[in-house]
Amino acid sequence: MANYVLTLALKTELWQEHILEKRLNIARMIYNSCLSEILKRHRKMINSSEYKEVSNLDKKEQSKRYKELDKKYSISKFELNKYVKPMTQKFNMKSLLIKVIILLERKN
């Protein structure tokens, strides 16, 4: 399947460019903050003794225990949503919340 990208120049006023630049910068900062937080939680989980013990179990039991660990260390889309929500409300960017979470899911 072929992918094509069409790039069009926007005809904007200077003030519109400033608004876009600020919003994109806020979105970048929120994305980086979310990524950092989820990686910190994941690292904490991986370094736990519980996580290391799971590797000795059979596949079904491993899957069950990994899900439990994800819940314990708050590694899920919904937990990340709780983390991001106050940031998006502060900047009045509610739709950005959904976009940031979707981008993070695609990376995983």
- pLDDT averaged per 10 residues, the chain (length 108): 83 85 86 91 92 86 90 86 82 65 60
> Residue 105 has what pLDDT?
62
At 32 the pLDDT is: 92
Contact (CB, 8 A) for 54 and 62: yes
Q: What confidence score (pLDDT) does residue 102 get?
A: 63
Nearest CA to 38 out of 69, 8, 76 is that of: 76
Taking the CA atoms of residue 33, residue 34, residue 37 and residue 39 in that order, the dihedral angle to the nearest 10 degrees is -110
